[in-house]
Each structure stands twice: as C-alpha cells, then as structure tokens.
C-alpha cells in the first residue's frame, strides 16, 4: 500500500497543486469582479447625489429669478409675475406653487404684530393658495419666515403635508426667499424685508426628476433631513430593479452617504446597491 503511495505521490501533489491554483484563480476573479462592481456603484452613487444637489439648486433658483424682476422694476407686478412663473412651472414639474407675500398690519395686535397675506399666486394645480391667505397663520411657517427675515437668506422648511379637498395629502417643502426694500441709500443688510417669495416643492417629484433618467440601475436612494441632528425622512427612491424599502444594512453591501446643503437645512442623501450584482 505504501509502495503505491510513494509511486503516485508526485501525481497526487500535482493534482493537489492544480486544485489549489484553481481555487486561488477563482478567488482572484471574484475579488476583481467585486472591485469592479464597487467602482461602478461609486460612480452611480456620485451621479445620483450630484443630480439631487443640482435639482435642489435649480428649484431654489426659481425664487431668485422672480426676485430679479423686483430688483429690475422696483416692484413685483402681476403681469411679469405671471409670465415668469408660468414658464418656471412648465420647465420644472416638481414646483407645486410660487407665491408672493408681503407684510400687512393686523387688527388685533395682542396676538401678533403683522400678517403675511399672499398677494400673487401661481400653481400648476390651479389657485390652491387664494390671494389674501395669511401664511403666518401656521406657527411652523411663521418660524420659517422669521429665519429668512433674520438672515436675509433663503430658508427651507422640513417635510410638510399639503392638503387638498378630496385628494391625498402631498408631501412638500417650503422655501422662503426674503425681498428687501429698494432703498438704494442703505447697505443691503440694512434694508427692511418687505415680503417673501415662496416656493412649494413636491418632494417625490423633485427626487424622481433628478434620478429617474440615470443609468446604470440597481441603486436605491433615501433622502432625509438631518438638520440639528434630528432625522426626518423625506423620500425613498426605489431602483427600477428593486421594490420596497431600502435594503437592510449589510457590511458587504456597497453604500455611500453625503450631506447636502439645502438653503439653511441639511439633507442626507444615502445610496445603497440593491444587491452586489445589481448595478448594471
């Protein structure tokens, strides 16, 4: 028996070495494939994060475009407002409404010193904000306008529900851009805020318009508001290859998260591969 072992020892060693080399080769191929999938995921995730950032910037640019009318004509006039807002609503499907609201005195100053009625309103869904509606009637929105007035910069709300009679609630965010008086004798920081341009944006449409046209597929995106250390879910974009919620966190699942500045708030844009082979 031992003579046979000695006789075939070289053959056994060659066979064992062949199996070992095959295993090592398969492992190297697997590692190379995983490395390539990771690179593809990083590229896809960067594309989606940048797309969300660009979409948000374009959404806020709509308010700045309308404000330029005020600076050019020293007033926001209804004909000019209508022409520009109609164009913006056609170009950007995620804009629900654009409003112009300015300060007004109140009869009962024991409750508050001023009101902020809507003066001009444009919406793709019709006149959902009637002229004269006081935006300060909501405490949450009152805080939004207070921040914008104090800083002189655009302020953004958290997720809010926009209710329409007989229809499902829409998930939206509000943006308030202060408009200052045209007093050329004062520095911009010293000019009084006379009103606000307000944008109401559909969160789902905003995220979908940014991501839906991108390739490759197989990457889920979750967007959350993480301002002041608190997390508020905004929207989950499910890959066309996937269904349901964001995949369960796994150390082996490629993930990437970036914090994006949105006005005076912070959004967490988190990308997760639906599975390690789904970025195709």
The string of pLDDT tens digits covering residues 151-193 is 989 999 999 998 877 778 889 999 999 998 776 555 555 568 8
**What does the angle CA 180 – CA 183 – CA 188 come to, to the nearest 5 degrees?**
55
Q: Provide the pLDDT for residue 139.
A: 83
Residue 256 has a CB neighbour count (10 Å cut-off) of 17
Kindly report whether the global pTM for this prediction surpasses the value 0.85. Answer: no
pLDDT at 280 over 50: no
Give the pair of three-digit tokens for residue 226. 């993480």
Please give the Cα distance from 170 to 14 (Å, whole number): 69
Mean pLDDT of the chain: 80
pLDDT at 142 over 80: yes
Q: Provide the pLDDT for residue 221.
A: 92
Backbone phi, psi, residue 247, to 5°: -55, 150
Q: Provide the pLDDT for residue 57.
A: 94
C-alpha pair distances (Å), 56 with each of 94, 95, 139: 10, 11, 25
CB 184 within 8 A of CB 177: no
pLDDT at 240 over 70: no
pLDDT at 126 over 50: yes
The least confident of 74-88, 123-137, 200-214, 233-247 is 233-247
Q: Provide the pLDDT for residue 278.
A: 47
Burial of 83 (0-12, 13-18, 19+ CB in 10 A): exposed
pLDDT tens for 15-59 read 555 666 566 555 555 555 555 566 788 888 899 999 999 999 999
Q: Provide the pLDDT for residue 253.
A: 76
pLDDT at 267 over 90: yes
């Amino acid at each position: 028996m031992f003579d046979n072992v000695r006789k075939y020892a070289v053959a056994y060693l060659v066979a064992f070495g062949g199996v070992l080399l095959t295993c090592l080769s398969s492992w190297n191929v697997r590692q190379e494939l995983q490395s390539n999938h990771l690179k593809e995921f990083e590229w896809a995730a960067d594309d989606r994060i940048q797309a969300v950032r660009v979409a948000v910037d374009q959404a806020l640019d709509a308010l700045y475009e309308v404000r330029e009318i005020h600076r050019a004509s020293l007033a926001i006039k209804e004909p000019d407002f209508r022409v520009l807002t109609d164009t913006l609503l056609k170009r950007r499907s995620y804009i629900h409404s654009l409003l112009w609201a300015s300060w007004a005195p109140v009869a009962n100053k024991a409750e508050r010193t001023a009101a902020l009625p809507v003066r001009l309103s444009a919406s793709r869904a019709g006149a959902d904000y009637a002229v004269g509606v006081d935006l300060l009637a909501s405490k949450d929105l009152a805080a939004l306008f207070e921040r914008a007035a104090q800083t002189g910069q655009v302020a953004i709300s958290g997720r809010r529900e926009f209710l329409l009679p007989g229809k499902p609630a829409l998930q939206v965010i509000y943006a308030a851009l202060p408009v200052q008086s045209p007093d050329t004798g004062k520095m911009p920081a010293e000019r009084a805020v006379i009103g606000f341009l307000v944008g109401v944006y559909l969160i789902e449409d905003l995220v979908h318009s940014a991501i839906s046209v991108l390739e490759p597929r197989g990457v889920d995106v979750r967007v959350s508001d993480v301002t002041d250390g608190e997390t508020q879910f905004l929207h989950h974009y499910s890959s066309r290859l996937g269904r349901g919620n964001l995949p369960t966190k796994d150390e082996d699942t490629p993930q990437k998260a970036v914090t994006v500045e949105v006005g005076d708030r912070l959004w967490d844009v988190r990308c997760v591969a639906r599975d390690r082979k789904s970025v195709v």
